[in-house]
Structure 1
Amino acid sequence: MPTLADQAERHWFITGAAGGLGRHLTAHALREGDRVTATVRRPAALDDLRETHGDRLTVEVLDLTRPADIDRVIGATLRRRPVDIVVNNAGYAVVGAAEEMTAQQVRDQVEVLLLAPMMITRAFLRPMREQGGGRIIQISSMGGQIGTPTHSAYHAGKWGLEGYTESVSQEVADFDIHLTLVQPGATRTGFAAALRYTTETAPYRDHVVGRTRRALAGADESLFTGDPARLAAAVHATTRQHRPPLRLTLGADTYHAIHAALTERRTALESQQPLAASVAFRD
């Protein structure tokens, strides 16, 4: 019996499709003959793709900080046709010391990076289970496996997304629903230019937070090695695999950073083996 990986035409639901990786994924899926429902904040951003691909592209306006909007858009999408592939792509980063972040900045960051993908994933599980399978692509980052100063709220969202996805993937694998975490590195998507910054405070200005802030503000994205078109093609290829990977690490910088982080954590864990065993009850 043909599976999703074998279908000639599939229907994608992609958030944050106005630019960056989301737009590249949308364009790639359309070129491959699939249908896409793309969510954006500015509908005119995809006018050129609509002109080229006609009714195979549906554009929906969606603000991920409004749960009622999520329910409305997903409901309308599913009434049109079943969804085979979901891509939780929308995101941004707030840069600054944790102490500098306002409560609203923290809430909005976690809402977009973690809570919205959780709600979107949950909303599609039942229809995917009832239709016999599906794919959910979570756009994480190397920031889902490593931690850097100035990105505490961003890391909270991405690390949370990784744990959530690993758990859900085990719950639904028997229904032929597969989840994949995509971990890009520095990619030329305009993400760096769209960073949002806290109001800088004097205590952090001349320390690691200030130095990191200035480095990011002056970053030259033309030096980033990640090609978003190649990244989109790699993500698309996993949807044609019968057993896609749980994690897809894309970018040499990502590979080396995550490898170093995991090696360091493993070394630290192994050094604590005697202590770990020492807290057991003694007969």
Structure 2
Amino acid sequence: MTSRTWLITGVSSGFGNALTTQLLERGEHVIGTVRNLDKVADLQKQYPDTFRAEILDVTDTAAVRTVVDGAFAVGRVDVIVSNAGYGLFGAAEEITDAQVDHIIATNLTGSITLIRAALPHLRAQGGGRIVQMSTYGGQVAFAGNSMYHATKWGIEGFAESVAQEVAPFNIGVTIVEPGGARTEFRYGSAQVAELMPVYDGNPAHAFQAMLDPANGLAPGDPQRMAARIIESVDVSPAPLRMVLGSQALDSTLGVLRDRIDSFEAQRDLAASTDFPTGE
């Protein structure tokens, strides 16, 4: 197999780290972004010829473009993985304006900037693959997670539109929708708003049980999920969406079926706003 080069954001933990480790073990090349080089010092030491770490905060749009341009200046980059992001829990009114701005800048604007910066290079080299990490929460919404859902529903719409725009250039786009997994995302890096007692006992605070490992660990294996993501890059045409985790798939299918039923029930309502035939 010919060794490929991957550019992956957020490789210090979670899916980004699992992907990077597996790819390096396979002999592939990875350019990984982090905010702290110390967190990937072991990878730099173990894979000095195939791993390159770059400092990047994806909320810095100019820096995103600089890192992407620099990666392609060295040579071909086959796969872009937009992975950097985090979760923010709390009722909508518990979240501060600063928290709203930051999660949008990270999860949504940061991902958009990364993909837009890569597209001219991917076109120029004749194609490539973009993997946008999302979540089944890009299709399903839960109370207490409104801003995280806002960013993921937003990036899924962006990626689905871009997939249609760039397919003629041999650029494939895949949106990955994992379910709950045993990563730092759930058990370490998740941010929680300053909670208001008025929401105690409300569905908005149900997430507290989920974040407590004492209540049971998430079913998803990040290593197996990473392996499926890597395998997807060899699938042609690129799968637009890929749900990982049986619970995630069951939940997504249930929500989509209910949504379709709701839309079907609105046929008369929808038609009532059209001009009459012939007018």
TM-score range, shorter chain: over 0.9
Which shifted more, 78-87 or 214-223? 214-223
Which shifted more, 22-31 or 66-75? 66-75
Tell me, yes or no, if the aligned pair for 2:103 and 2:148 is still in contact at 8 Å: yes
Tell me, yes or no, if the aligned pair for 1:190 and 1:221 is still in contact at 8 Å: no
CA shift at 1:87, angstroms?
A: 0.3
SS for the counterpart of 1:241 is: coil
1:128: which partner in 2?
122
Q: Distance in 1 between matches of 2:27 and 2:186?
A: 31
User: Structure 1: which 5+ runs fail to align?
Assistant: 1-6
1:172: which partner in 2?
166
Q: Distance in 2 between matches of 1:80 and 1:65?
A: 24
1:273: which partner in 2?
267
Q: Please, which of 83, 90, 99 is the counterpart of residue 89 of structure 1?
A: 83
CA shift at 1:91, angstroms?
A: 1.0
Aligned-pair identity in percent equals 37
SS for the counterpart of 1:206 is: coil
SS for the counterpart of 1:135 is: strand
2:2: which partner in 1?
8
Aligned-partner residue type, residue 201 of structure 1: M
CA shift at 1:223, angstroms?
A: 2.4
The root-mean-square deviation of aligned C-alpha atoms, in Å, is 1.4
Tell me, yes or no, if the aligned pair for 2:176 and 2:242 is still in contact at 8 Å: yes
Aligned-partner residue type, residue 172 of structure 2: H
Tell me if 1:150 matches 2:135.
no
Deviations 1:78-99 (A, max 9, x none): 2222211000111111110101
Aligned-partner residue type, residue 123 of structure 1: A
SS for the counterpart of 1:91 is: coil
Instruction: Map 1:90-239 to 2 at 5 A.
Output: 90-193=84-187, 194-210=189-205, 212-220=206-214, 223-239=217-233
Is the alpha carbon distance of 1:230 and 1:53 closer, same or farther for their aligned partners in structure 2, counting shifts above 3 Å? Answer: same
What is the number of residues matched between the two proteins?
A: 276
CA shift at 1:165, angstroms?
A: 0.6
Q: Distance in 2 between matches of 1:213 and 1:166?
A: 29
1:3: which partner in 2?
none
Is the alpha carbon distance of 1:33 and 1:222 closer, same or farther for their aligned partners in structure 2, counting shifts above 3 Å? Answer: farther
SS for the counterpart of 1:55 is: coil
CA shift at 1:217, angstroms?
A: 3.8
CA shift at 1:220, angstroms?
A: 4.3
Tell me, yes or no, if the aligned pair for 1:192 and 1:221 is still in contact at 8 Å: no
Is the alpha carbon distance of 1:213 and 1:231 closer, same or farther for their aligned partners in structure 2, counting shifts above 3 Å? Answer: closer
